[in-house]
Amino acid sequence: MSHNGSPKIRLVLLWHMHQPFYKDMVTGEYRLPWVRLHGLKDYYGMVKLLDEFPQVHQNFNLVPSLVAQIQDYVSGHAHDPFFDLVSKPAAELTPSDRHFALQYLFQANPVNMIGRYPRYRELWERYRATCERPEGPEGYFGTRDYADLQVLSQLAWFDEYLLEEADVAALVQKGEDFSRADQQLVIAKEREILAKVLPAYAAAAQRGSIELSATPYYHPILPLLCDTSVGEQSTPGLSLPTRHFRRPEDASLQIERALDSHQALFGVRPKGLWPSEGSVSEEAVMLAARQGIEWMATDEGVLGRSLDFNFAREGNGHLSADAAERLYGIYHYQKNDTRMHMVFRNHRLSDLIGFVYSGMPAQEAAHHLLENIKSSARPVLERGKDPVVSIILDGENAWEYYPKSGREFLRRFYDALQHDSEMEAVTIGEAIARHKPDDFKPLQRLVPGSWINANFNIWIGSPEDNRAWDLLSEARDYYDRHAQKVSAAQRKLAWEELLIAEGSDWNWWYGPEHHSANDRDFDELYRRHLSNVYHALEGVPPEELNTPIISGVVRPSYIPQTAYVRARVDGLVSGYFEWMGAASYTSDQRTGAMHGRQFLLDAVFAGLDADSVSGRLDFQHGVPEGAYRLMVNLEVRRDERDRKSPMESYRLAVDVHGHTLQKWVLSNGQERRKLASFSSDRRNSTSNGVEVALREIFEFRVPFALLGAQRGSRIRLRFAIWRDHLPVDSLPLEGWIDLFAVPEEELENNLYSFAPHE
């Protein structure tokens, strides 16, 4: 231990495991399948992985409402229509089943999950090409297709450990034409793996490998539950709901229920609380302390506001020595009779895992993370103190963006951690126990905020958010007036529905910040929970609950190519018609479940003519300042009719400083052999017909001949921007822009026809 020798970096890794409460308490039906699907993959695999690394101690935060849903599945009582659908013989699927299958079974990462299985990708591409047709896509899929989709949509979520089992590996090898027996094997494996999830956490906690913490039961934003007016404390002038919601008693109960349920399952009461979305206020901390909680965690932004200190990063992304000294410790919050240990996450390191390292080779990413932790903590080490560096993030969402669920990255990182004499990976309890008494930093004041921008603007303030709060307030008041008039069972159901509606997840999707393909499902489910309160109390729900809260949903717009593109490559916006007919993809700033991505790219365009491929990139806020690299990844299949032929990969790497294009290189994928290049000093420039320009926008053209493309080829593109050797934004975020080298008249008809297979 570091007391006895030189100081050590104590690395706190906390993985937050959470899903919204998808179950309708009245019908018993699960509205979305994500608890089950993430249960097959990350909930199991993330803790199982630590068997290989006994010295790497970690923290897992299990949200009680997630745990309750896993238990429901394991008991066999969960009614999940998605599970029913993939369990049904394909020949017995009704027309509505088929529609449902196509709507939901492609909801997975197109590159790392769908793209991993060639047949699944083929079906997805056919769906994409036919889903906008007036007659709908169903007619383009036969029984054999649905059978394969049922199996592959599940295998895509299987954990790496499960894929290594002989019978599952044989299914993957088979690849298509799955039988009823194959389907039944997949269903049996799902039940088997879900039953292993919670015991795996219990075993790891018992042997001291992990510390388990909890979150208030249904994942509410505690400070807002205590008092919605704290929204304005974090963001002065914020528009608040019409009704003032103040229910500290509900907040206290959500904590108590969490601790009780955790103790019932794991045999011990948790000492730590990760408050939902890292949301804290002085009142919320007081309520947790009263229930025996000893530590809480949140983001560096909240600490910065509480200390009136800006944790600004230097050019290399590191904190100044003064900032490192403030962040890399454990705080002891004390106000009146409230005492609480507090740790604050390093925002940048957490976001690198969440959003950046997925775009890098695993070994490079693991090395970069380790070196970043060490160099950023160096100022504290040099003062002879033990820095406590906290990395806290979602434990499930990031891994879809990594190849093979990010296991190689994690293995390389954990292995390096185990063998590094300067570091030890510890639980928060261990970090507190090993911290010297004099090294705890005092904290007398806590500004309310969450781990997102140190405020609550995701959950309150927009018209949709405020309407959701007003409807909750109305239902909560209705409960107070009518609960005593009905039976105990009815009262219990109404109360449960209210607690569920107090969860943060509903407002995550309201407002302008986030969306998913399931926005309408979330909106309907929230209004259903509130309506059920009135029904359980023998009342009539207000008419407003029949109307969607969500307004028109923005979607990332993808448009296929409809005409040859003959744009002039000059880096200028030369008018609307120049790129007319190009395939285009527009960035959607609300994409996805995770918050914290940088958006630098606004839209991309791509198109072919008879003998070349062209692309254009528009920036979100004009051409970026400083040094960066633009990367265009291209994949080419010479003859699209030969689906077994490989996709050849190429890369156009363009180095820029501000508006100045310094050099570019076009190379082929595996060998990185240079096919064409340019440098501003004009030395060794051989353009070979490639054109590249950057002024207001970025544009390029590459002749088919350099890519081995021809009539009948398929070319797909993806654009990315890199800074400091890290990929910071890309378009499309998932998948590719697909182009097909066909005569122009075929593009005009947009004839990507697929015949159904039986």
Rg (alpha carbons) of the chain, rounded to whole number: 27
Residues 289 and 331 placed together within one structural domain of the fold:
yes
Among the listed ranges 149-158, 457-466, 747-756, which one has the minimum average pLDDT value? 747-756
Assess whether pLDDT exceeds 50 at residue 669: yes
Residues 435 and 511 in one domain: no
For residue 657, give the H/E element and its range.
strand 648-657
pLDDT at position 181 is: 98
566: containing domain = 558-749
- With 0-12 / 13-18 / 19 or more C-beta atoms within 10 angstroms meaning exposed / middle / buried, residue 706 is middle
Write out the two tokens for 144.
């054999």
Query: What's the confidence (pLDDT) of residue 518?
Result: 74
β-partners of residue 661 are 656
Q: Is residue 449 part of a domain?
A: no
Average predicted confidence (pLDDT) for the chain: 90
Question: In this structure, is residue 498 part of a structural domain?
Answer: yes
Residue 594 has pLDDT above 60, yes or no: no
Under 8 Å between Cβ of 297 and 274 = yes
pLDDT of the residue at 734: 66
For residue 726, the tally of other CB atoms under 10 A from its CB is 16
Calculate mean pLDDT across residues 497-521: 82
List beta partners, residue 698. Answer: 617, 694
Higher pLDDT, 119 or 637: 119
Q: Does residue 222 sit in the same domain as residue 358? A: yes
Amino acid at 326: R
pLDDT of res. 670: 66
Q: Are residues 542 and 568 in the same domain?
A: no
Domain CATH code at residue 315: 3.20.110.20
> What pLDDT sits at residue 162?
94
Percent of the chain at pLDDT exceeding 90: 69
Task: Tell me: do 319 and 424 sit in the same domain.
Answer: yes
Q: Clarify whether residues 668 and 718 are in a common domain.
A: yes
Q: Dihedral, CA atoms, 366, 367, 369, 375, nearest 10 degrees?
A: 160
pLDDT value, residue 219? 97
CB 415 within 8 A of CB 55: no
Number of helices followed by number of strands (H, E) in the chain = 26, 23
Number of domains in the chain: 4
Of 498, 516, 546, the last residue of a domain is: 546
In a domain, 5, yes or no: no
Residue 553: inside a domain: no
CB atoms within 10 A of CB 295: 23
pLDDT of residue 588: 59
CATH number for 710 = 2.60.40
At which residue do the structure tokens 């059978």 appear?
147
Distance CA 271, CA 269 (A): 6
The pLDDT score that the predictor gives to residue 318 is: 84
Instruction: Give the CB-side neighbour count of residue 78, counting CA atoms within 13 A.
Output: 25
* Residue 317 pLDDT level (bands cut at 50, 70, 90): confident
Measured at the CA of 453, the angle between CA 376 and CA 465, to 5 degrees, comes to: 155
- Both 534 and 562 in one domain: the answer is no
Q: How confident is the model at residue 748 (pLDDT cuts 50, 70, 90)?
A: low
Say what the pLDDT of residue 576 is. Answer: 63
Span of 476-485, 587-596, 624-633, 702-711 with lowest mean pLDDT: 587-596
Q: Do residues 156 and 220 both lie within one domain?
A: no
Q: What is the mean pLDDT of residues 502-508?
A: 91
Residues 370-400 pLDDT 10s: 999 999 999 999 999 999 999 999 999 899 9
Residue 535 lies inside a defined structural domain of this protein: yes
DSSP assignments along 192-253, one per residue: HHHHHHHHHHHHHHHTTSEEEEB--TT-B-HHHHH-TTHHHHHSTTPPPPSSPP--HHHHHH
Boundary (domain end) residue, out of 525, 546, 567: 546
Q: Out of 135, 166, 197, pick the residue that ends a domain.
A: 197
Q: What is the pLDDT of residues 211-263, one digit of tens each?
A: 999 999 999 999 999 999 999 998 998 999 999 999 999 999 999 999 999 99
In a domain? residue 205: no
**Residue 150 sits in the same domain as residue 265:** no
In the predicted model, is pLDDT for residue 128 greater than 60?
Answer: yes
In a domain? residue 18: no
Q: What is the pLDDT of residues 549-582, one digit of tens each?
A: 887 544 446 678 888 888 889 998 876 668 888 8
Q: Which residue has the higher pLDDT, 551 or 484?
A: 484
Are 675 and 634 part of one and the same domain?
Answer: yes
Q: What is the pLDDT of residue 640?
A: 81
573 and 502, same structural domain? no
342 CA to centre of own chain: 26
The confidence band for 134, taking pLDDT boundaries of 50, 70 and 90, is confident
Tell me the pLDDT tens digit for each residue of 546-556. Answer: 788 887 544 44
Report the run of H or E that residue 606 belongs to, with start and end: strand 601-608
Question: Bigger pLDDT: 755 or 735?
Answer: 735
Q: Worst-scoring range by mean pLDDT, 69-83, 429-443, 474-488, 616-630?
A: 616-630
Q: Is residue 304 domain-resident?
A: yes
Give the pLDDT confidence score for residue 561 in this predicted structure: 83
pLDDT at 591 over 70: no
pLDDT band at residue 709, thresholds of 50, 70 and 90?
very high
Three-state secondary-structure class, residue 675: strand
User: Is the CB of residue 245 less than 8 Å from the CB of residue 473?
Assistant: yes
Quick one: which of 100, 150, 97 has its CA closest to 123? 150
User: 600 and 472, same structural domain?
Assistant: no
